Amino acid sequence: MTAATDPIISIDHVSHYFGSGRLRKQVLYEVSARVDPGEVVILMGPSGSGKTTLLTLIGALRSTQEGSLRLLGEEMYKARKSQLVRLRRNIGYIFQAHNLLNALTARQNVQMSLDLHPNLTAKEKKTRSLEMLEAVGLLDWANYYPQELSGGQKQRVAIARALVSSPRVVLADEPTAALDKQSGRDVVEIMQRLARQRGSAVLLVTHDNRILDVADRILQMEDGRLSTVQREEVIA
Amino acid sequence: MIFAIPLAWLQLIREKVRLLVALAGIGFAVILMFIQLGFRDALFDSSVRLHQALEGDIFMMSPQSTALIALDSFSRRRLLQAEGVPGVESVTPIYISFALWKNPADRSTRSIQVMGYDPSQSIVSKDLLPDSEALKLRDYVLFDRDSRPEFGPVAELFEEKGYVTTEVAGRRVTVGGLFNLGASFGADGNLVTSDINFLRMFDRDPGLIDMGMIRLDPGANVDKAIALMRKDIQDPNGDVLVLSKDEFIAFERDYWQNSTAIGFIFNLGAGIGWIVGMVIVYQILYTDVADHLAEYATLKAMGYRNRYLLSVVFQEAVVLSILGFIPAFFLCIGLYQATENATSLPLQMTQERGTFVFCLTMAMCVISGAIAVRKVQEADPADIF
Ligand SMILES: Nc1ncnc2c1ncn2[C@@H]1O[C@H](COP(=O)(O)OP(=O)(O)OP(=O)(O)O)[C@@H](O)[C@H]1O
Ligand SMILES: [Mg+2]
């Protein structure tokens, strides 16, 4: 395990390419960054600049092609596929679309992420799922199916699902994009509060200027290159 | 993950209409398979009903005979020769032929199988043919009450009056009793009569018989007796065939299985049912996977292995096969019953066929699952962000 001062995510000269041969196109150029435990970092940038690509690399959904990418102290460059799948279990994902399982109730959706941790009993898993739904203010909706929930409620279930197993890292790709102003704000605040409580680091991709105040740091991505910016610069 | 959420099951029951369509499709395939295989077996079983009922140890027939419906006659002397073989208790010559039977109720005619033998000997068990006393009378016959209904309400009339008169092969005969054998694929109905009555009916050379039944002394060695008969009677003359009872049954069954298109046709029918079922299940599973692709990708992003998703699809396949099979199975028991009543063919649900069709159903679903499952590989979590 890593010591408390070690970064949870450390990215060192990571480049990424799509396609092959003449169609090969570079989308990330020697990106370097780090995220420490408990930190909330926002990643901004124009469309097509490579934010999602970077997030999928960190989330062990793609293989690192060049450079070094360490998650929880484990090197992902040249890591085996099974190692990547195992690493994913330490990450809470929140997608732009909620991506809940339609055949499952809110509570069962949350519980799916606990099923990956076999040392819990069925009862414990159920209680923890319900507690988590309570934390996002949806206890009364635990037995509803995704179709019966509003967009903001679904996104809150998705947050509950991502956070219920207390992951060390939460990755969120434009979680508020499909929501109105107020529910977007609520969702981000819930996310920030719960991540703080659990000491999870958060890396949040957003276009939404109104939620920048939840961040400890803001990173800016432009044409596949990363730079740190001050909050004031962005808001101005 | 024993206490894990049963995703396969929940996904199946979430889409009620799709589930019902799937079950109806599988049920249809199961019924088709049961009907085809059931008919096939019923025809084969019915064709050897007489063979099984005959209480002989060894049988003799002409090598030109191919089946009960295509018997060639042979010399009665050959059978009498067998009487001299050590261990033989008795020999019974049997005459078999088809004749036109006149329905006593509506006077319509239909071909019926007639068997003639010496009524002082019995050829089938008392359960099937309790009383052959009447056969000692001139132009008396016994009627098979399990014959097809087209022969008329003979059993009812007989029970009412104690006798029924009608015409067989243009000759007036009296039904003086009943027995139970059942229609076969080759014969819709059966009559038995004495050898003397038979010869009156058919004007045949009494020295030529159609089948010989040989009974051995209790405890005599069947194989030894057969070997002797083959050596002394069959081989030197070449005009008879000596068969054990099992061989005799197998000979008839073999004719229907291999020398007619019946086996092929019914197997083909069952095969088509199987393929139709497979296509239906594949369609259902494929649509199901396609609908859930984004969800499956999400599960992969959460750290679920490919193996988990494959098992979800296979569980769905297995659940579908079981849920589809059960109602169809019970429906088929009823169908068999109805068919048996309508056709007088021996059609029953056997454990063997039930298991066989269940395995076919399971294979059908699992194979479609295996094809549909390739779609799961397309669920790439990197694409859902
Ligand atoms: N699977 C892929 N194959 C080929 N090119 C891709 C693929 N995914 C993304 N790209 C390209 O890589 C570049 C970066 O894409 P990415 O999705 O990371 O951008 P983004 O910053 O997330 O944009 P947005 O804000 O619109 O979501 C884009 O030019 C895109 O066209
Ligand atoms: Mg993006």
Give the chain B residue whose CA is nearest to the CA of A158.
B298
Backbone angles phi, psi at A52, to 5 degrees: -65, -40
Instruction: For an interface test with A, give the residue of B302, B309, B315 to mutate (most A CBs within 10 A).
Output: B302
Distance (Å, whole) CA A160 – CA A139:
11
Tokens of A236: 């101005």
Across the A/B interface, how many CB contacts are shorter than 8 Å? Answer: 74
Distance (Å, whole) CA B226 – CA B221:
9
Model confidence at B7: pLDDT above 80: yes
**What's the pLDDT score for residue A231?**
67
Mean pLDDT across the stretch B74-78? 94
Distance (Å, whole) CA B5 – CA B308:
12
Q: How confident is the model at residue B1 (pLDDT cuts 50, 70, 90)?
A: very low
Residue contact B385–A111, C-beta within 8 A: no
Largest CA distance in chain A: 55
Q: How confident is the model at residue B385 (pLDDT cuts 50, 70, 90)?
A: low
Model confidence at B199: pLDDT above 90: yes
Percent of chain B with pLDDT over 70: 99
pLDDT per residue over A44-76, tens digit each? 999 999 999 999 999 999 989 999 999 988 898
Q: How confident is the model at residue B132 (pLDDT cuts 50, 70, 90)?
A: confident
**What's the pLDDT score for residue B43?**
86
C-alpha distances (whole Å) from B231 to each of B77, B92, B263, B313, B369 are 16, 21, 35, 64, 59
**What DSSP string describes A174-191?**
STTTTS-HHHHHHHHHHH
Asked if A208 and A45 touch (Cβ cutoff 8 Å), the reply is no
Asked if B31 and B280 touch (Cβ cutoff 8 Å), the reply is no
DSSP B344: -
Distance (Å, whole) CA B212 – CA B117:
10
Q: A236 vs B116, which has greater pLDDT? A: B116
Residue contact B4–A115, C-beta within 8 A: yes
Look at A228-232, B230-234, B346-350 and tell me which has the smallest mean pLDDT: A228-232
Model confidence at B189: pLDDT above 60: yes
CA A48–ligand 1 middle distance (angstroms): 5
Percent of chain B with pLDDT over 90: 64
CA A47–ligand 2 middle distance (angstroms): 7
Mean pLDDT across the stretch B268-277? 92
**What's the pLDDT score for residue B332?**
94
**What's the pLDDT score for residue A2?**
44
Asked if B129 and B192 touch (Cβ cutoff 8 Å), the reply is yes
Q: Which of A186, A162, A160 is nearest to A173 (CA)?
A: A162
3-state secondary structure of B286: helix
**What's the pLDDT score for residue A17?**
93
Q: Which strands, in side-by-side order, build the sheet including A74-75?
A: A25-35, A9-18, A66-71, A74-75
C-alpha distances (whole Å) from A15 to each of A27, A34, A220, B142 are 7, 15, 16, 97
Pocket test residue of A52, A62, A220 for ligand 1, highest count of atoms within 8 A of CB: A52
pLDDT per residue over A176-200, tens digit each? 887 788 878 888 888 888 888 878 8
Q: Which of B329, B314, B255, B253 is nearest to B281 (CA)?
A: B314
**What's the pLDDT score for residue A1?**
45
Distance (Å, whole) CA A211 – CA B364:
54
**What's the pLDDT score for residue A185?**
85
Mean pLDDT across the stretch A158-169? 89
Mean pLDDT across the stretch B117-145? 90
How many residues does this entry show for chain A?
Answer: 236
**What's the pLDDT score for residue A232?**
65
Q: Which of B321, B322, B319, B314 is nearest to B376 (CA)?
A: B314
Q: How confident is the model at residue A110 (pLDDT cuts 50, 70, 90)?
A: very high
Is B376 exposed, middle or buried, given 0-12, 13-18 or 19+ CB atoms closer than 10 A? buried
Ligand number nearest CA of A43 is 1
- Angle subtended by helix axes B293-302 and B306-343, to nearest 10: 140
**What's the pLDDT score for residue B323?**
94
A12 CA: distance to closest CA in chain B (Å): 21
pTM: predicted TM-score of the whole model, two decimal places: 0.78
Chain B hits for A102, Cβ within 8 Å: 14, 292, 295
Mean pLDDT across the stretch B107-125? 92
Instruction: Indicate the average pLDDT of chain B.
Output: 91
**What's the pLDDT score for residue A99?**
83
| Shortest-distance atom of ligand 1 to CA A53 | 18
Distance (Å, whole) CA B83 – CA B232:
12
Q: Which of A164, A168, A204 is nearest to A188 (CA)?
A: A204
| Shortest-distance atom of ligand 1 to CA A174 | 27
**What's the pLDDT score for residue A233?**
66
Is residue B295 within 8 angstroms of chain A, CB to CB?
Answer: yes
Q: A177 vs B66, which has greater pLDDT? A: B66
The whole-angstrom distance between residue A116's C-alpha and the CA centroid of its chain comes to: 18
Using CB distances shorter than 6 Å, the residues near ligand 1 are A 18-19, 27, 45, 47-53
A96 CA: distance to closest CA in chain B (Å): 7
Model confidence at B108: pLDDT above 60: yes
CA A8–ligand 2 middle distance (angstroms): 22
Residue contact A103–B3, C-beta within 8 A: no
Q: Other CB atoms closer than 10 Å to residue A142's CB: what's the count?
A: 20
Q: Which of B372, B339, B301, B296 is nearest to B183 (CA)?
A: B339
Distance (Å, whole) CA B85 – CA B239:
18
| Shortest-distance atom of ligand 1 to CA A25 | 5
Give the chain B residue whose CA is nearest to the CA of A61.
B382
B1 CA: distance to closest CA in chain A (Å): 6
